Structure 1
């Protein structure tokens, strides 16, 4: 049973690394504003997230089966009490690595979220500018026509000269 958990944790670590790679690629694509590439990345990432969910459900199932014999212990407590040092250290290092990867992924996703928010704000600003400019009238007026309206009230000749 422990061997299955170790294998599942290895697979989870691999998938977390894939998700970190996707996050890094998304950062680049967001900066370069390549929407089509972003869509492709999100589609691929969705498949990997599905694999992650399936594996995590499998991990939970295996841990529940394992802890049925020790209902008062958490998995971490169970690992600490393992008699075999190599298995214990392997599981502890896997759990620590998974935790580190999740923190790293969260940080990268936060950066991507900020980039996406900034891009959306920029697009919204541009839409507002275009909408404003459509509301202004851009009819051509001759500069001479503007001068005539200014001088017509004074007359053609200045009488004070």
Structure 2
């Protein structure tokens, strides 16, 4: 009896569902930012005297579940897009698209999207190229925009 090999196409689809390392790091940062923004009082916010945690003031555990849900769903979707982008010919253009989407999502920073999208963009730009080529200008812009987006998301989480 011989083993039947699965078609290459189905293997490719399964690979898209594996977590992308950069996007997973962005999801972890997004979770920290969203929890901080929702449940932590900081001295940078008007009316807050110091650092404290108030779970009930941010929607309680139901609010925490919604935030974790946003981050998980976004991480899976963006991770699939980033994995597909690694195989694309114009990887830096895809990274620029992710970075622009991340910057635009700063308006809904509480969802965690900015950090996830920016990390995926940075991961695409920083992935070694097969020929060892240099990053294109689109990649440099994407990396810069991703860094600014992550900084903005962190600042908004603490000072928001």
**Fold match (TM-score > 0.5):** no
TM-score by length of 1: 0.32
Larger Rg: 1
TM-score by length of 2: 0.32
Greater share of helix: 1
